[in-house]
Amino acid sequence: MTPGDDAYPRIRLYDIRKACSTCSLRELCLPVALGREDTEALDHIVERDHPLRKGDKLCRSGQPFAAIYTVLSGSLKSSTQGENGEDQIIAFHLPGELVGLDAIGAGRHHSTTEALETTSVCKIPFSRLEELSRQIPGLQHQLLRIMSKEIFDDHELLQVVARRSAEQRLAILLLNLSQRFGRRGLSRTRFRLPMSRHDLGNYLGLAPETTSRVFRRFLTQGLLSVTGKEIEFLDLPALQALTESPSAPPRSSKQG
Amino acid sequence: MTPGDDAYPRIRLYDIRKACSTCSLRELCLPVALGREDTEALDHIVERDHPLRKGDKLCRSGQPFAAIYTVLSGSLKSSTQGENGEDQIIAFHLPGELVGLDAIGAGRHHSTTEALETTSVCKIPFSRLEELSRQIPGLQHQLLRIMSKEIFDDHELLQVVARRSAEQRLAILLLNLSQRFGRRGLSRTRFRLPMSRHDLGNYLGLAPETTSRVFRRFLTQGLLSVTGKEIEFLDLPALQALTESPSAPPRSSKQG
DNA sequence: CGCAGATTTGAGTTCCATCAAGGCGTGTGG
DNA sequence: CCACACGCCTTGATGGAACTCAAATCTGCG
């Protein structure tokens, strides 16, 4: 049952790199000048976890924090819960990305992470990683670096949710997903959205109906074609133009 | 000109503790079992910076990251910039709080921090702090811990901006500020807002006019009294009730 | 005292959430 | 292979919250 035993043999960093060309574990380690020994040390703390089925929880809000994860295949969503049970999705996780960083240090998860489809992840026990990072100076810096990135991403999301129209929000998210798919070597213009319209809307601070309507508008305007969860960009420049606040009235900030 | 020279002598951790009873530097160090030597080591890397006047920038987006700061007196706002010059305020910083954490690791500031009034801060060169944190195991963990807190706060803000009404947003912010003032030993029910209505609105994703109108509504309902930037809570329970989504229509998430 | 910026107030408009109903698609059982 | 049912998605109609524009008032400051 526990990962790391015979049924779920340890996998090597080498394998992870093969499995996922832009794996965050690579992101975590690559900029660091790791010697052969260091690499092996890292190899040995990585464990493969059970594959998750759609709806399975990787971790729940309030649970003690023990490990961070990197997505090998599939996808996940993380959400925080308001006191009323209404939740707010704060991130989607695609293959090659790290999960659970917001729990570092607090010792406890603040969010619940759930599989959007059949998903396999790779577990990195944090205590061991932290221990290791004391021995490998660059690794410690990498940890801080990645958390910093997380903060930056959150700020970008905030900016989007606080100040942009529904169309801009969706366009920005689609382009963002496009980039992330592209980085994995998949098509940047044609891909499958792993999340429901509901999740999409929740993440962007929109009602699901609005999300649906915006898709229709994009379709009508010839910006993209939508078939269920499959989408294809037909007019990338126009979508990017949307992003740059073409119709966005300059709110707040400064208005002379 | 450079801080740390004779004109601005180094100040000691001891002084900082006196200057600010809930200083984040304490927050940073206190949970760590610091010996006398460690404490002195920290003392020596802390510098007092120039006092800032209203509107002065502590750091700008894009600048190389060199230090984190802790607020001794006054207050600051941090904002990110969209490509159009419209900015989004992501945090207000009151005395005793840390500034610049989002830049750790990226080596570059992602946000611009500006004084809302005459403000004095205390500079902690990061390279030295990092170096020190390799020698003091607990300190490293504290850094991660505090960054994690930052991420958590961002998620809370996102939840507020994405899902709550204008009244709820303002109520939540006012109560939050109340707590933070209270922690410093000031009144929790009567204080001065250091930021403009404009900034208030920007932070909450609202137009300044809306902010003003919500204040009026609160006034009319007898929830608080407002005189310019001075505010006083008159009906704390009612404000807190607002916070708990009483009139908040359960949006998105789940609606049977 | 007068200016500039901040705040408030008003009127009108827009965008999006809500409510409600219908369509599509997938999985299950016959 | 087909029928049915459930959930997800779409579409329509409507109302309301918040934004925009515009102007008056207030505030601080030189």
pLDDT of residue B130: 74
CA B133, B139, B145, B149 torsion: positive or negative? negative
Which one, of A77, A70, A79, lies nearest residue A11 by Cα?
Answer: A70
Residue A204's alpha-carbon distances to A92, A171, A212, in angstroms, are: 12, 11, 13
Which chain B residue is nearest to residue A245, measuring alpha carbons? B84
CB contact (8 A) between residue B252 and residue A156? no
The Å distance, CA of A222 to C1' of C8, is 44
A209 CB neighbours strand D below 7 A? yes
Question: Pick from A90, A141, A148: which is nearest to B102 by CB?
Answer: A148
Structure-token pair, residue A71: 């997505």
The whole-number Å distance from B54's CA to D29's C1' is 14
∠ CA A154-A157-A160 to the nearest 5 degrees? 155
Residue scoring higher pLDDT (A44 or B101): B101
Q: Where are the beta strands (DSSP E) in B11-128?
A: 47-48, 57-59, 67-73, 76-81, 87-93, 98-99, 112-115, 120-125
Higher pLDDT pick, A102 / B216: B216
Asked if B144 lies within 8 A of A80 by C-beta distance, the reply is no
pLDDT of residue B203: 97
Q: Does A134 touch chain B (CB under 8 A)?
A: yes
Question: β-pairing, A67-73 with A120-125?
Answer: antiparallel
Phi, psi of B195 (to 5 degrees): -105, 160
Question: Quick one: pLDDT at residue B141?
Answer: 76
Phi, psi values for residue B120, rounded to 5°: -115, 140
> Is B155 in contact with A252 (Cβ distance < 8 A)?
no
Q: What is the pLDDT of residue A89?
A: 96
Fold of A164-242: Arc Repressor Mutant, subunit A (1.10.10)
Local confidence band at A26 (pLDDT 50, 70, 90 cut-offs): low
Protein CA at B213 to nucleotide C1' at C7, angstroms: 11
> Measured between alpha carbons, how far is A220 from B123 in angstroms, rounded to an integer?
55
CA of A204: which chain B residue's CA is closest? Answer: B162
- CB of B141 within 7 Å of some strand C atom: no
> Residue B245 and residue A106: Cβ atoms within 8 Å?
no
A52: closest CA among A80, A68, A76, A70?
A76
CA–C1' nearest nucleotide, residue A228: D9
Interface check for A238 against chain B (CB to CB < 8 A): the answer is no
State residue B37's pLDDT score. 67
* Residues A205-243 pLDDT 10s: 999 999 999 999 999 999 999 998 999 999 999 999 998
In tens, the pLDDT along A175-194 reads: 999 999 998 889 999 999 99
pLDDT of residue A25: 53
With CA atoms as reference, the chain A residue closest to B107 would be A145
The pLDDT score that the predictor gives to residue A247 is: 40
Which H or E run contains B148? Answer: helix B137-163
| DSSP 8-state symbol, A64 | B
Q: Does A148 touch chain B (CB under 8 A)?
A: yes
Q: How far apart are the first and last CA of chain B?
A: 63
DSSP letter string, B215-252? HHHHHHTTSEEEETTEEEES-HHHHHHHHT-SS----T
Residue type at B166 in one-letter notation? A
Q: Is the pLDDT of residue A143 over 50?
A: yes
Average pLDDT for runs of 10 along chain B of length 256: 40 45 49 60 71 92 91 93 80 91 84 94 83 74 82 91 95 96 92 96 97 96 94 95 63 31
Mean pLDDT of A195-200: 96
Which residues 44-103 of A are in CB contact (within 8 Å) with B? 80, 82-88, 90, 101-103
- CATH 2.60.120.10 for domain B20-145, yes or no, is yes
CA distance B98 to B87: 21
Chain A residues 87-126 with Cβ under 7 Å of strand D are none
Which nucleotides on chain C have any atom < 7 A from a protein Cβ?
Answer: 6-11, 15-20, 25-26
Q: What is the mean pLDDT of residues A55-63?
A: 92
Domain ranges of chain A: 20-145, 164-242
Check residue B191 and give its pLDDT: 95
pLDDT band of residue A254 (cuts 50, 70, 90) is very low
φ, ψ for residue A87, nearest 5 deg:
-110, 160
Task: List, in sequence order, every residue forming a beta bridge with A73; answer none if it has no partner.
Answer: A120
Distance B18 CA to D16 C1' (A): 52
Task: Give chain A positions within 8 Å (CB) of B83.
Answer: 244-245
How many angstroms separate the CA atoms of A114 and A54, rounded? 8
Q: How many Å apart are B179 CA and C11 C1'?
A: 38
Q: What percent of chain A has pLDDT above 90?
A: 48
CA distance B16 to B19: 5
Asked whether B69 and B58 are in contact (CB, 8 A), the reply is yes
- As a whole number, mean pLDDT of residues A96-100 equals 88
Q: Are B85 and B40 in contact (CB under 8 A)?
A: no
Any CB–CB contact under 8 A between B150 and chain A?
Answer: yes
- Rounded CA separation B51/B182 (Å): 24
Q: Which residue of A has its CA nearest to B148?
A: A102
